[in-house]
A and B are shown apart, each in its own frame.
Chain A
Amino acid sequence: MNKEVKHLISKYFDEDHLPQAYVALFDEISQLLEARTTPTHPSTPMANADLQAVYQRLRDSLNVFGSSQDMDERGADLSSLILLAKRVKKECANKIIRQQKQLREMKHLKTIQTLASAGSWELPVTDDELCQPGYWSEELFAVLGAEPGTLAPTAGAFRKNYVHPDDRQYLSTAVDKAIKETGRYDIEYRIYRGGDPKQKRTVREIGELVRDEATGRGLRLIGVTFDITDIRNTERALFKANVEMRKLFDVMEDVFFSVSMERYEQEILQMSPSCVQLYGYSVEEFFKDPDLWFTVIYDDDKEAVLENNKRLSRGESSQVVYRIRRKNGELRWVESRITPTLSHEGKLVRIDGIVTDITKRREAELALANSELKFRSLLENSNDAITVASEELKFLFVTQSLSRMIGYTVDEIIGTSVFDLIHPDDHATVNSLVHAMEKDPDAPVHFELRFRVKDGGWIWCEGSVVNHLNGDIVKGYIGNFRDVTYKIRYRKALEASNNRLKKTNNELDRFVYSVSHDLRAPLASVLGLLEYTMSETEDEDVLQDLGMMKGSIEKLDRFILDILDYSRNARLEIKVNTVDFQHLLADIRDNLKFMHAGKSALRFDVNIQENGAFGSDERRISILLNNLVSNAMRYADPEKPDPFVEVTIVSGAGGADITVRDNGIGIPAEYHEKIFDMFFRVSEKSNGSGLGLYLVKETIDKLKGRISLQSVPGEGTTFSIFLPSLL
């Protein structure tokens, strides 16, 4: 191919994608040029007919380009042909350039449409109506959410398929008016993207009418439709934010302000209305008096504020707490935070700031400081020591009171190990305390430990410690204790004396038994011999003497028995068991049979009604019943034909009611109060020790029961006892 042509192609075309028609044309041109520039065949000039044919083709080409008119009619001579060819070449190049440009513009337009989500369209107007299909750009299809070509581009299809039903009328009216009157419209309306009511979008549409210049009637309506949903949403959000901002500004308790510092006199640019709440002055008042902000500052704080504001000129923001006096004279604590703006030259041009009412916070702070002070003073003046020890058992904090207690200064104690201050014998206790606290944090553990005193020696301290290693405020073992040395010493002394007492008591008990046995044994021997001797003789005088001796010895024996019972009652613990009254009364009956063998024909009646388990000390009940029954026998009335003693027992889980009734000689009323006294006897004739009823009373007291009596001399006596069940 001809070089020139090749150059042209490479300059204006993408050689690889040259349209086929162009290739043929370029070939032809190339050949022609070759023919001209190759003088190798001058001797073989072209046939006239051939030249004529070439000429004709060149003219045709020029016609195609529309530039043949101005050409002189030239012959088909070679020079003309060359001229023509040059012309064709030029036109060809121009056309290529134009096409190129057009292509670029199209591409540009398309890109813009895509970027702006704007689709363009053109519809023919026929008799002021949009009936004919027109042109929709690809992007318009995209805006509508439709595939290009799937739909005839008519106004009717557009409105029916995509426009929100509520907005169809609105759109038609606007379009109608534009065609008939204004020639232009610019409206917003809603569409269903892809015809889907769920995909609501807002579009803006601008339409322009192209008129027939002669008639003024509308020819075409050209327009652009673009999706402004996102823009609208953003705008709406922005508006909302603005409104809220405004609201916030109005309701904020903090006061915002901006002040221009450019002129000599400061000029307030803006101030939030909340200044009325904070200062008691309105925005207007602040605008009117530029110095008002300074006037309201509490006199004592003015200097500090001015000093702080110097930072602003250096471009540093300031934060300062001071007091202001409100319009009503009330003092308020405020905190102001100001950010300065400097000019390029470093001059302060503007400040923006917030003033916050911190009166409440300040008061709370002061109250806290105050309460801290009180608390500390309480701690320091308390007699209890309060300590905090680390996990490694080193003192982190101790109160002055500990120092007073043990003589070391607070500084000497802090940092030392707990073990250094605690008696070596108590280290095991400390370890067990730690163990207990590990098991159950938050539960205070009680302790008694010996602490080292600086002057030597030890003091006993009693208190508790709690595991606060995971505490929020205080981390560590918190101890709280006091000097109880005197108490412990007292207790130790008490324990020792208690032990001595116990020992004495035991000894006394053993003593009582052994003495009573040693006393009784010979008595029993004498009694035995007396009885034996009495059975050997018939002599009345001797029998009477021996009988008196026997009575006396029996009295002594009973006395010993009573003392023994008394001792047992006073000293022995109560042993609670289910009481078997049947068995108990049978024993008593046996016992009495020996005691009063052959002495009296006393009737002994027993009525027992056991309604459930009754618990008490059976041995003690036995003692008191034995005493009451033997009293009844001893003081039976010999005059009566049927002397008796009757024991009635009604027992159950609630307790036991015991009645011992006799028809004996009775007790005169004046003695009723006294008969339970120790060693009290109604008459010298009475054969008792004077311990019996005392023992009964003591035993009943021990069993938490009560006793009462009814007695009429000559008629008999009734003892009524109630014993609670101790089970």
Chain B
Amino acid sequence: MDSNNFNFEKVMVVDDAEIDRFLAKKVLTKHAFAKEVLPQDSAMNALSYLSENQENKEALPDLIFLDINMPKMNGFDFLEEYKKLPESVKKKCIIVMLSSSLLPEDRELAMNNPYVCQFLNKPLTADKLKDVANP
């Protein structure tokens, strides 16, 4: 992969685990997947960010890695709220679920959501990124 040729400008990582946000940032940067990584430690914060920047196209992420199991508001709750955001936001963002959940129901539920384009099992590796970049 060409280190100077980023796949995405801005990638948001929504995960409550610090180690996963940390790892994601390292992997995404190392493999030149994203020019800028926007870590969000909760679904609420992620939604606030998107909502606040809904008019600011530059600030919106091109892709969102979304964890499922998070306290207070989980990945699916996030998707419910995300649905209400303006089309401008939804048109720009691609959502990839990134979870350690093994529940087949979770995978099905995620894949049936119109805004989710992929479901990945943690950990995030270089191989998996390749799949996202070239589906």
Q: A residues within 8 Å of B by Cβ?
A: 513, 516-517, 520-525, 527-529, 531-532, 535-536, 561, 564, 594, 597, 619
Asked if residues A517 and B125 are in contact (CB atoms below 8 Å), the reply is: no
The 10 closest A-B pairs by CB, nearest first: A528-B123, A524-B122, A521-B100, A525-B19, A524-B100, A528-B23, A524-B123, A520-B100, A527-B123, A525-B20
In the bound complex, residues from chain B placing their C-beta under 8 Å from that of A522 are 17, 19
**Can you list 24 residue pairs at the A/B interface with Cβ under 8 Å?**
A513-B102, A517-B69, A517-B102, A520-B122, A521-B69, A521-B100, A521-B122, A524-B122, A524-B123, A525-B23, A525-B122, A525-B123, A528-B122, A528-B123, A528-B124, A528-B125, A531-B123, A531-B125, A536-B30, A561-B102, A564-B102, A594-B121, A594-B127, A597-B127
In the bound complex, residues from chain A placing their C-beta under 8 Å from that of B69 are 517, 521
In the bound complex, residues from chain A placing their C-beta under 8 Å from that of B123 are 524-525, 527-529, 531
| Contact mask for chain B residues 100-114; partner A; CB cutoff 8 A; 1 contact, 0 none | 111110000000000
In the bound complex, residues from chain B placing their C-beta under 8 Å from that of A524 are 20, 100, 121-123
Nearest B residue (CB) for A590: B131
Give Cα A397–Cα B101 distance, bound, in whole angstroms: 68
Is the CB of B26 closer than 8 A to any CB of chain A? Answer: yes
Give Cα A531–Cα B126 distance, bound, in whole angstroms: 9
- B47 CB to nearest A CB, Å: 22
Within 8 A of A (CB), among B39-54: none
Give Cα A561–Cα B19 distance, bound, in whole angstroms: 22
In the bound complex, residues from chain A placing their C-beta under 8 Å from that of B121 are 524, 594
Asked if residues A517 and B100 are in contact (CB atoms below 8 Å), the reply is: yes
Is the CB of B27 closer than 8 A to any CB of chain A? Answer: yes
Number of interface residues of B (CB under 8 A): 21
Asked if residues A529 and B100 are in contact (CB atoms below 8 Å), the reply is: no
Is the CB of B128 closer than 8 A to any CB of chain A? Answer: yes
In the bound complex, residues from chain A placing their C-beta under 8 Å from that of B102 are 513, 516-517, 520, 561, 564
Contact partner of B126 (CB less than 8 A), chosen from A529, A535, A561, A619, is: A535
Within 8 A of A (CB), among B88-104: 100-104
Nearest A residue (CB) for B98: A524
Nearest B residue (CB) for A557: B100
Contact partner of A532 (CB less than 8 A), chosen from B17, B27, B101, B103, is: B27
Give Cα A517–Cα B23 distance, bound, in whole angstroms: 18
- B1 CB to nearest A CB, Å: 12
- B111 CB to nearest A CB, Å: 12
Asked if residues A597 and B103 are in contact (CB atoms below 8 Å), the reply is: no
Known: A531-B123, A532-B27. 17 other contacts (CB 8 A): A513-B103, A517-B101, A517-B102, A520-B100, A520-B102, A521-B122, A522-B17, A524-B20, A524-B123, A525-B20, A528-B123, A528-B124, A529-B19, A531-B126, A532-B23, A535-B30, A594-B127
In the bound complex, residues from chain B placing their C-beta under 8 Å from that of A521 are 17, 69, 100, 122
- A566 CB to nearest B CB, Å: 13
Give Cα A524–Cα B26 distance, bound, in whole angstroms: 15
Give Cα A636–Cα B83 distance, bound, in whole angstroms: 48
Nearest B residue (CB) for A619: B104
Give Cα A516–Cα B100 distance, bound, in whole angstroms: 9
| Contact mask for chain B residues 1-26; partner A; CB cutoff 8 A; 1 contact, 0 none | 00000000000000001011001001
- A509 CB to nearest B CB, Å: 11
Identify which of A524, A531, A561 gathers the most chain B CB atoms within 10 Å of its CB: A524
In the bound complex, residues from chain B placing their C-beta under 8 Å from that of A561 are 102
Identify which of A523, A525, A594 gathers the most chain B CB atoms within 10 Å of its CB: A525
Asked if residues B100 and A528 are in contact (CB atoms below 8 Å), the reply is: no
- A656 CB to nearest B CB, Å: 21
Nearest B residue (CB) for A565: B102
In the bound complex, residues from chain A placing their C-beta under 8 Å from that of B101 are 517
In the bound complex, residues from chain A placing their C-beta under 8 Å from that of B26 are 532
- B60 CB to nearest A CB, Å: 26
Contact partner of B125 (CB less than 8 A), chosen from A513, A523, A597, is: A597
Nearest B residue (CB) for A520: B100
In the bound complex, residues from chain B placing their C-beta under 8 Å from that of A513 are 102-103
Give Cα A332–Cα B104 distance, bound, in whole angstroms: 90
- A571 CB to nearest B CB, Å: 13
Asked if residues A528 and B27 are in contact (CB atoms below 8 Å), the reply is: yes
Give Cα A13–Cα B101 distance, bound, in whole angstroms: 145
- B109 CB to nearest A CB, Å: 14
In the bound complex, residues from chain A placing their C-beta under 8 Å from that of B103 are 513
- A258 CB to nearest B CB, Å: 104
Identify which of B27, B104, B123, B126 gathers the most chain A CB atoms within 10 Å of its CB: B123
In the bound complex, residues from chain A placing their C-beta under 8 Å from that of B104 are 619
In the bound complex, residues from chain B placing their C-beta under 8 Å from that of A529 are 19, 23, 123
In the bound complex, residues from chain B placing their C-beta under 8 Å from that of A527 are 123
Asked if residues A532 and B128 are in contact (CB atoms below 8 Å), the reply is: no
- B41 CB to nearest A CB, Å: 15
In the bound complex, residues from chain A placing their C-beta under 8 Å from that of B30 are 532, 535-536
Give Cα A524–Cα B121 distance, bound, in whole angstroms: 9
